[in-house]
Structure 1
Amino acid sequence: SIVENAIDGIFQSTPEGRYLSVNPALARIYGYASPEELMLAMKNISEQLYVDPKRRNEFIAAIEVDGAVSGFESLIYRKDKTQIWISENARAVRDSTGRLLYYEGTVSDITERKLAQQALELQKVQTERLLLNILPQSIATRLKAGETPIADQFEQVSVLFADLVGFTNFSAQQTPAELVEILNAIFSEFDRLAEKHRLEKIKTIGDAYMVVGGLPVPRLDYDEAIAQMALDMLASIDRLNVKTNQVFQVRIGINIGTVIAGVIGKSKFIYDLWGDTVNVASRMESSGMPGKIQVSATTYECLKDRFAFEERGIIEVKGKGEMLTYWLKGRR
């Protein structure tokens, strides 16, 4: 018969949760040798079949609303207690007075489809996580929406560059694995500090590190956060030296001002910054001294009431001429 030879499972069950009839396909889906074995073993569908015991009541409630269910998906136990996904299409059968007699319907094994969906969802989550490791969340959202290129102007941004002094000579004495291990330790600590101070890491270039405050979401304490990050970076290098018996030093430069930030190009996206503010911050680092934090006069004016500074004086800055700079010493 059609019922006996059907690929999908076919059933009739009582409102109380026992099977009145099942076909061979349903027995096979549930892991039983025959319909008779299934009906004999399954005395309470709610407790024995569904992984979630409340699922049977949800099945009944859905039928009560519309008289039927379509594509009702559930995780169930097979005879050997392994779990599979099924999809049920069912309806309520009533007598002429409207009294419920039984439920009847079909069952499909959708485990492969559900596993494929779960794998796709996991891949989506992993891709999203990877994207957020590369781009700020708000920028990633705009890119996914198709916006390109992305370019925004920010009026109040703090920019920090840091460089490991003498690391080129140090690297010549290390194996590649040792070099990567120590760089990873240093930059991972810097990453932790950036997250702690809610700053945006922009990039690393060799042994240089760039981080900014005040974008992509503007904030009032953008200047204070970057200054504290710089001080914490020096402290973290000191701790690392004690731990590794090394003499690493970091040179840090900070500037504050207006920048353009965004994403350009069509491949290997990176969120980057442009403008004179960025160039000056880079020069503050490159013209600085090991173990010190050099800042521009603009930065000094923003922070002088909250942090202690020492005037360095007028220095010659490549591409900028003479500039008055300061050393950031600590909090007041």
Structure 2
Amino acid sequence: MEQHLAASALRQGWAAGVVRSLLVWAGNVGADPADSTDTALQKRLMVALSVGLLPLTLLWSVIYLVAGVPLSAAIPALYTAVTPVNTLLFSWTRNLRFYRFTQLLMYLVLPWLLMMSLGGFRESSVVVIWAALCPLASLLIEELRDTLLWILGFVALLAVSAILQPYLTPAGLPEAFVNWFFVLNVGAVITIAFVLLYYFVGQRNFFQERSEMLLHNILPREISEALKAEHKTIAAQHDAASILFADVVGFTPMAATMTPLALVELLNEVFLCFDGLVEKHGLEKIKTIGDCYMVASGVPRARHDHARVLVQLAMDMREAVAERTFGGQKLAFRIGINSGPVVAGVIGRKKFIYDLWGEAVNLASRMESHGQAGTIQITRRTYQLVGSDYLCEAKGTIDVKGADRMEVWHVIGRKPAAA
């Protein structure tokens, strides 16, 4: 019993390996680097189906020839001869439209001709069912309006077959032969249809998941779900939020001494580090502007501890920067935080962005730009929300562009009781 199961698993693994190898090979036939994802998938399916049918058409041709119906044997043999030539031509011209049309036409017409040569529906073991692969394949790789034409063609051929049925001459095949070919024709077509749909759905799900992952990396999950559900303006007022800006000290002169690649790699290393901390605290990265990094807390999901968790993020960022180098260099950051009401929304149709607006955002940016290297500078609004948990040092008042003189504090660390 165990040996039988092992042999069965081995056969299934071999069959799956053959299918995978065929699909990989099919993906390279007629491939063009400029192809979109959909076009590449259409080419792969078209070639894999066309070439994958060759062993069956060759087998059907041999069986009909042995059964004594050479005219019927010539019809699948025609497909066996034409498809390799057509596929080679496609690999050279990359003309998917012509290849697709000629192959679909053979899927539709040849089974019908074979049925007519054998004497009708029953005498041919309903071999016309193979023509159903034409509209099915068209549905997967063509526009819907083109598929409707193929469906109409398939139905029209069935209607013509019914009209001509009384005038057809049976080929006189044995009853057992006819019955077994019912099983082979119906079983083979259903299996091929299942494999096509299984692969197509799997590929579409893969691309869909990758697209959604990219969308979720650009927008908060709630915002991306709202955009997918309905195309409308996304805007919301958040009365309690906190905003953080972090900026590299001395970035401009440092950038002037670096190659473009080294500069981008350094920023990527820094922002990947910060991204991990933002995800750890469940906050929302808004954007990067040059060497400036912006994070928000309390948007789009409200939370009562928006200021405290953002200050903790700032401390973790300061600690991470102090403990390591980026691009082989030690960096220092200014970090500014402010709390208050903000407006959040999505702007633009192309390359859109989820952004924040309001005085609270502007003041958070000023806290960063008026700060000092290695410090976390906060406003009174933020201090009132975190002063019970964090040790903060008053730094008096500073002149802030676009506002009156403001009191500021520097966050030193967590208070022992709060820790």
Q: TM-score, normalised by structure 2?
A: 0.56
Determine if the alignment matches structure 1 residue 285 to structure 2 residue 368. yes
Distance, in Å, in 1 between the alignment partners of 2:234 and 2:379 is 29
Amino acid in the other structure paired with 2:180: V
- Partner residue of 2:259 out of 149, 162, 175: 175
Give, in angstroms, the shift of residue 195 of structure 1: 0.5
**Shift, 1:8, TM fit:** 3.7
Taking the aligned partners of 1:247 and 1:119, their CA distance within structure 2 comes to 45
C-alpha separation between the residues in 1 aligned to 2:208 and 2:381?
A: 44
The answer for the alignment partner of 1:22 in structure 2 is 180
**Other-structure match for 2:210:** 126
Tell me which residue corresponds to 2:315.
231
For residues 187-232 of structure 1, what are the alpha-carbon distances to aligned partners after superposition, in whole Å with 9 as ceiling and x for unaligned?
A: 0010000001110000000000000111111112111110000001
Q: Distance in 2 between matches of 1:239 and 1:137?
A: 32
Larger strand share, 1 or 2: 1
Distance in 1 between residues matched to 2:213 and 2:321, nearest whole Å? 29
Contact 1:148–1:264 (Cα < 8 Å) also in 2: no
The yes-or-no answer on 1:219 pairing with 2:303 is yes
2:396 is the alignment partner of 1:275: no
**How far did 1:155 drift?**
0.9
Indicate the residue corresponding to 2:127 in structure 1. 6
Quote the residue 1:322 is aligned against. 405
Kept in 2, the 8 Å contact 1:8–1:25? The answer is no
Q: What is the aligned length?
A: 248
Aligned pair partner of 1:185 in 256, 269, 275 = 269
Are residues 26 and 228 of structure 1, via their aligned partners in 2, closer, same or farther at CA, if it must alter by over 3 Å? same
Deviation of 1:269 (Å): 1.4
1:195 aligned residue (279, 292, 296): 279
State the 1:288 CA deviation: 0.5
Aligned twin of 1:266: 349
Query: CA 1:171–1:25 in structure 2 vs 1: closer, same or farther (change >3 Å)?
Result: farther
Quick one: distance in 1 between partners of 2:366 and 2:281? 24
Alignment correspondent of 1:204: 288
Secondary structure of the residue that 1:144 maps to in structure 2?
A: helix
Q: Secondary structure at the match of 1:329?
A: strand
CA contact (8 A) 2:125 2:179 kept: no
| SS at 2:279 equivalent | helix
Amino acid across the alignment from 2:289: I
Aligned residues: CA RMSD? 2.3
Partner residue, 2:148:
none
Post-superposition CA distance 1:119-157 (Å, at most 9, x none): 222111111111000001110111112242111011110
Measure the CA separation in 1 of the matches of 2:201 and 2:328: 51
8 A Cα contact 2:243 2:364, kept in partner: yes
Q: Distance in 2 between matches of 1:245 and 1:133?
A: 28
**In 1, distance between residues paired with 2:316 and 2:192?**
60
Secondary structure at 1:177 match in 2: helix
Please tell me the residue identity of whatever aligns with 1:318: K
1:275-298 CA deviation, whole Å, 9 max, x = no partner?
Answer: 000000000000001110110011
User: Can you list the C-alpha shifts for 1:65-91, whole angstroms capped at 9, x where unaligned?
Assistant: xxxxxxxxxxxxxxxxxxxxx74xxxx
CA distance in 2, matches of 1:152, 1:28: 57
- 1:255–1:296 CA contact under 8 A, matched in 2: yes
Unaligned runs of 5+ in 1: 10-19, 31-85, 88-106
Q: Does the aligned pair in 1 maintain the 2:126–2:185 contact within 8 Å? A: no
Task: Please give the alpha-carbon distance, in whole angstroms, between the structure 2 residues aligned to 1:277 and 1:267.
Answer: 27
CA offsets per residue over residues 83-120 of structure 1, 9 Å max, x none?
xxx74xxxxxxxxxxxxxxxxxxx65342333222222
Q: What residue number does 1:166 align with? A: 250
Residues 232 and 108 from structure 1, CA distance in 2 versus in 1: closer, same or farther, beyond 3 angstroms? closer
Q: Distance in 1 between matches of 2:346 and 2:327?
A: 38
> Does the CA-based 8 Å contact 1:8-1:108 persist in structure 2?
no
Which letter does structure 2 place at the counterpart of 1:324? E
Flag as ranges the 4+ runs of structure 1 deviating above 4 A.
27-30
The one-letter amino acid of 1:232's match is D
Q: What is the rounded CA distance, in whole Å, between the counterparts of 2:354 and 2:126 in structure 1?
A: 60
Structure 2 residue ranges without an equivalent (≥5): 1-117, 131-177
| Contact 1:157 1:215 (C-alpha < 8 Å) held by counterparts | yes
Q: Following the alignment from structure 1 to structure 2, what is the Cα–Cα distance between the partners of residues 300 and 129? A: 36
Relative contact order, CA 8 A, sep 6+: which one is greater?
1
Compare 273-282 and 107-116 and name the one that shifted more. Answer: 107-116
What is the CA–CA distance in structure 1 between the aligned matches of 2:294 and 2:345, rounded to whole Å?
15
2:225 partner amino acid = T
Residues 244-302 of structure 1 show CA distances to partners (whole Å, capped at 9, x for unaligned) of: 65231000000000000011222211110000000000000000011101100111111
